[in-house]
Amino acid sequence: MKLPPCPPSSFAPALLAAALLPALLRAQTTPPASRTEEIVVLSPFEVSSSQPSRYQADESASGGRIRASIMDTPATVTVLTNEFIQDVGTLRVLDAAKYVAGISEATIPNGLDRVNIRGFQSDGRRVDGFSTNDQANYDAAGIERMEVIKGPDALLQPAGVPGGTINLVTKRPRFTFGGSVKVQLGAYDANRVEADVTGPLSGQRLAYRVVASHHDSDGYTRNLFRRSNFVAPSLTWRIAANTSLTVRYEHYDFKTSTLEGLPVDPSVGTTSEFKLLPGIPLDFSPALGEDDQYRKVQSHTGTFLLTSTLTDRLSVRLAGRAAEIDTPDSGFGWGPNTQGGSRNPRTGLWEGGLIYATSAPFAATAAPALSATYTHAGTNQGQKLRYRDLQNDWAYTIDGSHINSTTLVGFAYGFEHQNLQAATQSTAAFTPTAFTPITAAPTVNALNTDRRRQTTRNQSYLTEKIELFDRRLILSGGVAHIAFNGFFGNKLSAATSTAVAGQMYPGDGSTTTVNYGVVAKPAESLSVYFGHTENAVPASNYQQTAAGTAPLFSEGTQDEVGLKVQLLNKRLLASIAYYEISQTGYSIANPANLTSPPPAVLLPALVVSREASGWEFQIAANLSRNLSLIASYADTTNRDPNGVPFRGSAEKMGALFVRYEFKDGPLTGVAVGLGANYLGKRAGDQASGLTPASTSTAVIPNQPSFYLPARTLTDLNVSYSRGRWNYPQAVNNLYDKVDYAASQTRFSVYIGNPLSLSGSAAWTF
C-alpha cells in the first residue's frame, strides 16, 4: 500500500485558488466608493469580538466550525475570555480551564497539556482547530480565548477523546495599533517576559501582530525547571470587505523536567489513609541536571486561514497547517525495592504490609523490609513529528420570514508521521535519607525501539441547522465520514513465527458518525436542549489491530440534556447539564511498563471499554459594574466495565473565581480576585483486570492500590491599574496546603507548589 507523505503538490494550491477566485473577482468588479468608508463583512466562520461582560461571550465557532450562539447550541459550550485568562494569571491551559465544570488535573502537571475532561484524559492540544501531541505545555501568551466544547465532536476533534475539546484561539492581527509588555517575577514557575504588538501596515488592507515570550524559572522540587521561548508573527490581508486571509508562523522552544515524584508509604492500602514514604522532604527529587533529564520541544508551525462571504448566502473557509516538531525526552524513575503490599485476591483491595499468594488458599505473609538503597533507571528517547492538514468548509444560509437554515458541507485532510527511537538508561543507585546529587552522566543502552507510525485521514461532513417559530425551535443534525490508512511498526523488532524482523503493519478503515440535537427556547433568555454527538478515533497501533487485540476505531457516543439561562441583560449565563458517554476501544497504559527499571521492550497498551455519566453546573456573570465571577460544579461517574475508577479522575469537583474591581473612590484601579478549586479523591494508580480468586460467577476486579486525598486550593490575585500601567500580584496556594497534584504509580506522586508569591508589571500602549 503506497501512502502519500503529504497532499499532492497541486492539491492545496488548486483549492486555494478555487476559494480565492470568486472573492478576487468580486473585489475587482465592485470596488468600494471609499476605502475609509468600506464596511467589513464578518464571515459566519468568524466570531465577533464583542462580549456582554468581562467573563462572558455570546458566540463560539468551535462547536461546528461555524459561528453560533451559545444559547442555540445543543451542547455544553464554555468560552473563557482573554480578560479571565489574564485575571487568573494563566501559565498553562489548566490554570484557566480548571474553572470549567468537569475539567481537572490528570497525571503530568508540567507537560503534554494533559488534562481530564469529564474523566477522559486528553493529551496534546487543539490550536485554531488543529491538533498537536508533543511534550510541551502551550504558552499562554499566544492565546486570545479558550472555547471548551463538551462531548465527542466528529467535526472539531475527530481524533479526540469523547469527554470534550479545549480549542485554543490564538491572537490575530488588528487594524488598530496597540500592544503590551509584561514582566513577571516570583517563586516557583513564575519568571517570564511577554510582548504583544499589533497594528495596520497598509491602511485597512494589511495588519500584523507579533506575540513573544521568554520563560526561565525553577520549581519547588529539586531540579524542577522550565525554560521556553515562544514567538508567533502573523499577517492579515483584507482582500476585500468580504474576504480576508491570515497567515501565521509559530516557533516554540520548550524545555522542562521529567518528573520523578515521591513514593507512597508501603503500608498504605486502598482503604487506608494516604501518606508518603516517611523521612523524605516534600521537595526531594533525585533528578539529574537539565542536560540529562528533560522534556523538550522545538517546533515550527505555519498556518493560514481564508474566509470569504461570496454572496449574502454563500461563504467559504479554507485553512491549512504544516508543522515540524522535534520532541526528545530523557527521564528516570525510582522507588522502594519492594511493593510493600499486594492486592487481596478475595477483595481486589490493596493491603499494605502483606503479600498474598496468587493461588488458593491465597495465604498472606509479611512484606519484606525496605532496602535503604534505590535503583535509578528510565528511558531516553527522541521523537520527530510531522503534521500536514487542510480544511475546507462551505456554508449556505437562508434567512426567511418563517424559517432560517444553515447548511455546512466540508472536508478535512490530515497527515501525521512519527519517528521515535528509545533506549533504556540508568544512573547510580542512591540512599534518599543521605542523598548526594548525581553528577555522573547516565549510562544509555543500545536502542530497543525504532518506531515508525504514519496516518493519513480524510473526512467529509454535512450538517444542517433549521430555525423555526422566530428562532424559538432549533433543529440540527449532521453526518461525518472518516477514512484512514497508514502503517506502524518497530524496525528493531525481532522475527517471530508470524512476522519478519522489523515488520511494518499496515492499517486502514472507514466509518460514519452522526450528530443531532434540538433546542427549544420558551423565552429568548431560556434554552432547553438535547444533543447526541459521536466521534470515531482511528487506531494508532496497527500491530494490535492486525492481531485482533484492538479495534480499528475507538468510538465515542454522548447523549446530553440541559438547560441554559441568560439574564441581567446577557451579563449572566448559567447552565446545567446531564450527560451519558460511552467509549469503545479505550487504551490505557500497561502498569507493567511503569516499573523501575522498565521492561527492555515496552508491553502493549490494555484495551477496554468504559462508561461515564454526570451532572455539571456552570455560571459566568458580571453581577454589577464591579463584580464578576465564574463558578462550576461537577458530579460524575467514570468507570471501566468492572466499575473501577480511572487513575487521576476525580468524580466530584468544583471551582469559583470572584473578582471585585474598585471603580470609584480612593481605591480606584484596585482589583481583588479570589479563586478556589476543589477536587475529590482520585485513584492514584491504574488498576485493571481481575484477581486470581475470580470465577465466572464471582468476578473480583482489582482496585486502585491507593487514593490521593480530596483537596481545596485557594489563590489570591490583587492588581492595581493606573493609566497605561497595571501591576498584578498573586499569592498561590494561599493557605499553604500540601498539594498532591497528580500521580502515575505508587512510586511517582507529584507535589504541587506550596504558598508562593509572584508580581508583574504590564505596560499597555
pLDDT in tens, 295-347: 999 999 999 999 999 999 999 999 999 999 999 999 999 887 777 899 999 99
Question: Is residue 364 in a domain?
Answer: no
End-to-end Cα spacing for the chain = 57
Q: How far lies 282's CA from each of 38, 186, 357, in Å?
A: 62, 20, 34
What tens digit of pLDDT does each residue of 659-718 get?
Answer: 999 999 999 999 999 999 999 999 999 998 888 888 878 889 999 999 999 999 999 999
What tens digit of pLDDT does each residue of 390-441 get?
Answer: 999 999 999 988 899 999 999 999 999 999 999 999 999 999 888 988 888 8
Question: Is residue 29 in a domain?
Answer: no
Phi/psi for 93 (5° steps) reads: -55, -40
Question: Is residue 30 in a domain?
Answer: no
What tens digit of pLDDT does each residue of 468-481 get?
Answer: 999 999 999 999 99
Query: Does 41 score more than 70 pLDDT?
Result: no
**What is the span of the domain harbouring residue 132?**
60-336+371-764
What is the number of domains present in the chain? Answer: 1
The residue with cell 473577482 is 25
Query: What pTM does this model have?
Result: 0.90
What burial class does residue 37 get, using C-beta atoms within 10 Å of its C-beta: 0-12 exposed, 13-18 middle, 19+ buried? Answer: exposed
pLDDT-derived band at 606, boundaries 50, 70, 90:
low
- Residues of the chain with pLDDT > 90, as a percent, come to 75
Question: Is residue 50 in a domain?
Answer: no
**How far, in Å, CA of 220 to CA of 241, rounded?**
52
Number of other residues whose CB lies within 10 A of the CB of residue 631: 18
Residue 747 neighbours by CB under 8 Å, 6+ apart: 261, 263, 264, 333, 334, 335, 336, 594, 596
Query: Does 605 score more than 80 pLDDT?
Result: no
Rounded to the nearest integer, the mean pLDDT of the chain is 90
Dihedral sign from CA coordinates of 78, 81, 84, 85: positive
Give the model's pLDDT for residue 369.
Answer: 86
**How far, in Å, CA of 122 to CA of 118, rounded?**
10
Instruction: Please tell me which of 360-369, 654-663, 689-698 the model is most confident about, judged by mean pLDDT.
Output: 654-663
Question: Is residue 254 in a domain?
Answer: yes
Query: Does 5 score more than 80 pLDDT?
Result: no
Q: Are 727 and 701 in contact (CB under 8 A)?
A: no
Question: Is residue 53 in a domain?
Answer: no
Edge to edge, the sheet with strand 130-132 lists 77-80, 143-150, 164-170, 125-127, 130-132
The residues that bridge with 352 in the sheet, in sequence order, are 341
Give the model's pLDDT for residue 26.
Answer: 45
pLDDT-derived band at 62, boundaries 50, 70, 90:
low
- The CATH number of residue 117's host domain is 2.40.170.20
| CA 94 to the chain's CA centroid | 8
Question: Is residue 158 in a domain?
Answer: yes
Give the model's pLDDT for residue 483.
Answer: 95
The residues that bridge with 515 in the sheet, in sequence order, are 478
Number of other residues whose CB lies within 10 A of the CB of residue 399: 11
